[in-house]
Amino acid sequence: MHKPIVLIAEELSPATVDTLGSDFEILSCSGADRSALLAALPRADAVLVRSATRMDAEAIAAGRRLKVIGRAGVGLDNVDVAAASRAGVMVVNAPTSNIVSAAEHTVGLLLAVARNIPQAHGALKEGRWERSRFTGVELADKTLGIIGLGRIGSLVARRMAAFGMRVLAHDPYVRAGYAERAGVSGVGLDTLLDEADFLTVHLPRTPETEGLIGFDALHRVKPGVRIVNASRGGIVDEAELYAALKEGRVAGAAVDVFATEPCFDSPLYELDNVVVTPHLGASTLEAQERAGVAVARSVREALAGRFVPEAVNVRMGEVDAELAPWLAVVERLGRLFTATAGGLPPRLRVTVRGEIARHDAGPLELALLKGALGPVVDGGVSYVNAPLIAQERGLGTEVHTDPDSPVHRSLVRIDGTLASGEPVSVTGALNGLRSGARLVEICGYATDVALDGDLAFFLAPDRPGSIGAVSEVFTRAGIPVESLWIGRGGGSGETALVALGLGGPAGQERLDDGAAALDAARAWGLERTG
């Protein structure tokens, strides 16, 4: 059986390969070598990169089998996420892998710019003992202004509070009260610029944040402020920062990131009151290992067709732990619906009842689309491209929730009406992880069938003696019948639904033989891997 191929396009930690394990064939190439990358991609089911490999539209198109791009780090500047989404390729990264490293580097830069450490080091190495020239300032009792109170900004705030600093923070995207719960004072940007003795930036680079610390901000800052940017280049306007440093409005700056990288020539390099490093925020052994291991785990999940919380181009966001097991259940119900209906109606309805009804049902809707479209779409359906494929096919969905579920703690029902006017429905329950998912209804017939194995279904006359015959069909073919259920209550009452749990896939030939043994009007199956 073909093993999925994972292409590692840059040097990653040995733990990354260990995490992938023996289930994959590993290929390697230099992602910085464009021709080598494009030559290797057509074989790959997944590719792992860091920052030197450009996974743009051309590279993604070359990876005809690609299902996932793993970026061993936080930023995605080198990955065309939009092109990946159009191609149905999941993009995953490691959003928390380097937060400690980035926060610690920020602290180091704050100390360096406050105490002129690199400048003094350089002078002494050149034979000059210049104590008075490099007199610095203390951090204690000073005000630190943090712009961006996400994971890294929060860690910086916690660490600098231990230095005795008063910490202010500005972040319009965090909920009210978050700053105070993090132990800092939340303020507007103007207030922060007015009061900060030191200023650090911890924001992504977006059209809204680019140039945020530019002419206006740098003319408003408190005179003598020291500025640190270890987040993304371009947020602090480098030309305006140079002017503010030359004029003395800003006493010093530490810059780890630049608008264009690598940056070999910058006016900032000319100034003695500037500390620079070549984008080292995530460059620790620990961060690189965490990033590689994290994306390797995500790639394993993605290639298994499962939901990946770190996927940046899936419209789920975070999924509550109580809801997460239902994703696979609903995806399987979606596949079963399509197999039962023999196609898809123009609209699918999802009804969520019981305890899980209190959660956002959006992820379940996405799982339904992935499952229902899978059997009828060539080229594969993923969490990434399922909404686009549904839109192209004119398939609509609607979601209903009801906290009341009289029999089961929670259940999900999928139903729709075919063009012929025939209604089709499937309902699943998950009352406990140990008992597994159960199919509890199909087209009006009550059932109690394990939903996670190979299944065969027949609509046949309700008469004695036929069950032994259909069981013999599969047993003779070497396919054990592990469970059997006869559902009654649908249709006219003269027809029963026979559901078999099998020890292997039925195949169309066996389904036809089983239908003949039962004199069944219809027969269909669902494979374990589907």
Upper half-sphere CA count for residue 82 (Cβ side, 13 Å): 1
Token representation of residue 434: 């140990």
Q: Among 385, 415, 449, which residue terminates a domain?
A: 449
Please report which confidence band the pLDDT of residue 495 belongs to, taking 50, 70 and 90 as the band edges. Answer: confident
Residue where a domain terminates, one of 303, 338, 354: 303
Which SS3 state, helix, strand or coil, does residue 427 take?
strand
Give the H/E segment covering residue 253: strand 250-255
What is the reported pLDDT for 428?
94
3-state SS assignment for residue 70: strand
* Residue 336 banded pLDDT, cuts 50, 70, 90: very high
Question: Could you give phi then psi for residue 87, rounded to 5 degrees?
Answer: -85, 0
How many structural domains is the chain composed of?
A: 4
Which residues face 354 on adjacent strands? 410
22 and 51, same domain (yes or no): yes
Give residue 60's Cα distance to chain centre: 18
Looking at the fold, whether 398 and 359 belong to one and the same domain comes out as: yes
Is the domain of 264 the same as that of 328? Answer: no
- Is 232 an annotated catalytic residue? yes
The arithmetic mean of pLDDT across residues 30-37, rounded, is 95
The answer on 224 and 88 residing in a single domain is no
Whether residue 367 is contained in a domain is answered as: yes
- The model's pLDDT over 34-77, given as tens digits with 9 standing for 90+, comes to 999 999 999 999 999 988 899 999 999 999 999 999 999 877 88
Distance from C-alpha of 274 to C-alpha of 119, rounded to nearest angstrom = 9
User: Do 90 and 126 reside in the same domain of the chain?
Assistant: no
Per-residue pLDDT band for 176 (boundaries 50, 70, 90) equals low
Residue 433 pLDDT more than 60?
no
DSSP-derived letter for residue 380 is -
Could you give the percent of the chain with pLDDT greater than 70?
Answer: 96
Q: What pLDDT is attached to residue 360? A: 84
What pLDDT does 317 receive? 59
Q: What is the pLDDT of residue 109?
A: 98
Average pLDDT across the chain, whole number? 90
Are the C-beta atoms of residues 203 and 229 closer than 8 Å to each other? Answer: no
d(CA 39, CA 41): 6
Expressed as residue numbers, the domain containing 436 is 314-449
Note the pLDDT of residue 379: 65
Instruction: Let me know if residue 281 belongs to a domain.
Output: no
Q: Residue 327: pLDDT above 60?
A: yes
Non-local (6+) Cβ contacts of 258 within 8 A are 233, 238, 266, 279
Q: Residue 199: inside a domain, yes or no?
A: yes
Sign of the CA dihedral running 234, 239, 242, 243: negative
465 has pLDDT over 80: no
Question: One of 50, 226, 232, 353 is an active-site residue; which one?
Answer: 232
Q: What does the pLDDT read at residue 180?
A: 81
Confidence band of 493 (pLDDT split at 50, 70, 90): low
Return the CATH number at 42. Answer: 3.40.50.720
* Whether residue 359 lies in the annotated active site: no
Rounded CA gap, 93 and 84, in Å? 14
* CATH (domain of 524): 3.30.70.260
pLDDT digits over 282-326, tens only? Answer: 889 999 899 999 999 999 988 887 778 778 888 765 677 788 889
- At 95 the pLDDT is 83
* Position 29 in a domain: yes
Say how far apart CA 454 and CA 11 lie, in whole Å: 41
Rounded to whole angstroms, the Cα distance separating 148 from 228 reads 13
Lateral strand order in the sheet of 438-442: 396-402, 347-354, 410-417, 423-429, 438-442, 445-450
Let me know whether 107 and 48 are in one domain.
Answer: no
Residue with tokens 């006493």: 251
Number of CB atoms found within 10 A of residue 426's CB: 25
Looking at the fold, whether 115 and 224 belong to one and the same domain comes out as: yes
With respect to residue 308, please indicate whether it lies within any of the assigned structural domains: no
What does each C-alpha distance from 374 to 64, 99, 120, 396, 461 come to in angstroms? 18, 38, 64, 16, 31
Do 267 and 242 meet the contact criterion of CB atoms below 8 Å apart? yes
Each residue of 340-351: pLDDT tens digit?
999 999 999 999
- H helix intervals, 248-303: 285-303
Is the residue at 173 inside a domain?
Answer: yes
The two three-digit tokens of residue 357, written as one number: 């009804």
Q: Which helix (H) or strand (E) holds 353?
A: strand 347-354
The reported pLDDT for the residue numbered 183 is 82
Proportion of the chain above pLDDT 90, given as a percent: 63
Best CA proximity match to 334, nearest among 402, 422, 403, 395: 395
What is the rounded distance in angstroms from the CA atom of residue 262 to the CA atom of residue 393? 45
| Chain segment 216-266, per-residue pLDDT in tens | 999 999 999 999 999 999 999 999 999 999 999 999 999 999 999 889 999
Q: Are 309 and 342 in contact (CB under 8 A)?
A: no
Tell me the residue ranges of DSSP E strands in 381-435: 396-402, 410-417, 423-429
The neighbour count for residue 454, using CB atoms within 10 Å, is: 20
With CA atoms as reference, report the closest residue to 52 among 12, 87, 99: 12
Q: What pLDDT is stored for residue 206 in this prediction?
A: 84
**pLDDT at residue 405 is higher than 60:** yes
Q: Rounded to whole angstroms, what are the CA distances from 344 to 45, 374, 392, 394, 499?
A: 29, 11, 14, 11, 22
Query: Of the candidates 417, 449, 481, which is a domain's last residue?
Result: 449
Q: Helix (H, G, I), strand (E, B), or coil: what is residue 342?
A: coil
3-state helix, strand, coil in the chain (%, to 5): 35, 25, 40
Q: 187 with 332, same domain?
A: no
Which residues, 6 or more positions from 121, have their beta carbon under 8 angstroms from its beta carbon?
none
Residue with the two structure tokens 């040995």: 14
In a domain, 309, yes or no: no
Does 444 share its domain with 458?
A: no
Q: pLDDT at position 45, please?
A: 95
In whole angstroms, give the CA distance from residue 53 to residue 32: 5
Out of 130, 138, 247, 261, the active site residue is 261
* 279 is an active site residue: yes
pLDDT in tens, 355-379: 899 888 888 998 999 999 988 887 6
Give the H or E element holding residue 186.
strand 185-186
Q: Are residues 372 and 478 in the same domain?
A: no
Residue-wise pLDDT tens digits, 146-164: 999 988 999 999 999 999 9
d(CA 208, CA 235): 9
- With a cut of 60, say whether residue 169 has pLDDT above it: yes
Q: What is the mean pLDDT of the segment spanning 385-404?
A: 89
Q: Are strands 68-71 and 225-229 parallel, antiparallel or unpaired?
A: unpaired
**pTM for this predicted structure:** 0.67
Same domain for 268 and 206? yes
Is the domain of 433 the same as that of 486?
A: no
Of the candidates 105, 170, 226, 279, the residue annotated as catalytic is: 279
Kindly tell me the number of DSSP H helices and DSSP E strands found in the chain. Answer: 17, 22
**pLDDT score at 1:** 55
Q: Is residue 363 part of a domain?
A: yes
